[in-house]
Amino acid sequence: MSDLLTQWRSDGCVTLPALLDSGRATRIRTLCDHVLAQWSACDPQTGQPGAKPDATVMRHLNHPAYFTQRPAELAELLAVAADPAVLRIVEAVFGEAPMFRCTSLFFNPSGISLDGNWHRDSQFTHRDDAAEWEMLRTAGENGAGMQMQIALLPSDDIEIVPGSHLRWDTPAEYAIRKADDWAHNRSNAMPGAQRMHQNAGDAVLFNPNALHRGRYRSEIPRRTLMLTYTRRSEPCSDFFSAQPWFLEPGYLHGLDAHSQHFYDEFVAQYRADWQK
C-alpha cells in the first residue's frame, strides 16, 4: 500500500492488476452489457433511447430499472463498488473514509472513431487559467478526487501524463490542451503521454487533475466500469449524487452488512436533497 501511495502522489496514476478475478470480471461485464442494451433502447432517467452514434459513456448503471428481470445482478454490481479491497485503496489515497458517488460505463461508440481530447477535469469547473492553477495547487499531491477504471475487456484506451497533476502545463502541453479554443486537443503528440495497458479485471486509478484522455474507436471494443467516490468530508450534491432510487424499499437487498453500511452513509448524506 505504501508503494501505491508513493506512486499515486508522484505520478497521479496507478495500475492495479487483477483487482477483479477473471470470473468476476466476466460476470460484471455480462451484467454491464445487459444494462447497456436496456439504456440504449430507453434510458430510464429520460425515457429516451440512450443510443447515439457518438455515445461513449453512460452513468448510473445501478438504476433499479435495469434489474427488474435480474435482481441478483444489481447486488453483484453494488458489491463491487463497496468491496473492502476497493475501499481500502480509495481510503489510503483519500486519507479518510470514502463515500460512494457514482457508477459509469465507458464503451466504444457505434458510429464515430476518434482519439479523445486531452484535458484536466479541473478545466470544466475553472474556465479561468489562474483559478484552475490555484485549484490544482491547493488539491496537492493526493488530489481532490480519484477515478477508478476497471477494464472488463482488455483496454489501452486511457492515456495520462504522469506527474502533471502537480504542476501547470508546459507550453507544449498548453498548446495541445487549450490553445486556439481547444483546436488541437486531440493531438497525438502530447509529450510524456503514457498509455495505460489493462487486461480484463485490471484497474487504473488516476487523478483527474492530471492531463489525460480516453479513446473512442468504434472498431475497438471497450467496456470499462468507472467507480467514483468522494471524501466524506467533501460531499457534493449534483447529477452524480442524485440517486433517489436508493430510498426504494429492498434496493440494497442481497448485500452483506458491510456493503449496506457503506451505502447507508451515502443515503444519510443525500436523503434530504433527494426528498426536496
Ligand X SMILES: O=C(O)CCC(=O)C(=O)O
For ligand X, the closer of residues 122 and 243 by Cβ is 122
Closest approach of Cβ 121 to Fe ion, in Å?
A: 4
For Fe ion, give the closer residue by CB, 74 or 145. 145
Q: Which does 158 bind (CB under 5 to 8 A by kind): Fe ion, ligand X, none?
A: ligand X
Tell me the residue number closest to Fe ion, measured at CB: 121
- Measured from the Cβ of residue 17, the count of other Cβ atoms closer than 10 Å reads 9
Closest C-alpha among 205, 87, 214 to residue 150? 205
> Which is closer to Fe ion, CB of 122 or CB of 241?
122
Considering the complex, state which of residue 38 and residue 56 has its C-beta at the smaller distance from ligand X.
Answer: 56
Q: Which of 207, 220, 203, 214 has the alpha carbon at shortest distance from 158?
A: 214
* CB contact at 8 A, 127 and 167: no
- Among all residues, whose Cβ is closest to ligand X? 214
Q: Is 240 in the site for Fe ion (CB under 5 A)?
A: no
Compute the distance between CA of residue 38 and CA of residue 31 in angstroms, rounded to an integer. 11
Instruction: Strand 147-151: give its sheet, edge to edge.
Output: 13-16, 203-206, 147-151, 223-231, 98-107, 57-59
Nearest-Å Rg of the Cα atoms of the chain is 18
DSSP-based three-state secondary structure for 98: strand
As given in the structure block, the three cell numbers for residue 179 are 490553445
162 binds, among Fe ion, ligand X, none (CB under 5 to 8 A by kind): none
Does residue 121 bind Fe ion (CB under 5 A)? yes
* Virtual torsion, Cα 139, 141, 147, 150, nearest 10 deg: 180
Binding range to Fe ion, per CB under 5 A, among 16-24, 59-67, 119-127, 223-231: 119-127
Task: Give the chain's largest Cα–Cα span.
Answer: 54
Residues that bind ligand X (CB under 6 A): 106, 116, 121, 147, 158, 208, 212, 214
CB of 215 to ligand X, least distance (A): 7
Rank residues 62 and 185 by Cβ distance to ligand X and give the closer one.
185
Least distance to ligand X, CB of residue 158, Å: 5
Q: Please report how close the Cβ of residue 212 comes to Fe ion at its closest, in angstroms.
A: 6
What is the binding site for Fe ion (CB under 5 A)?
121
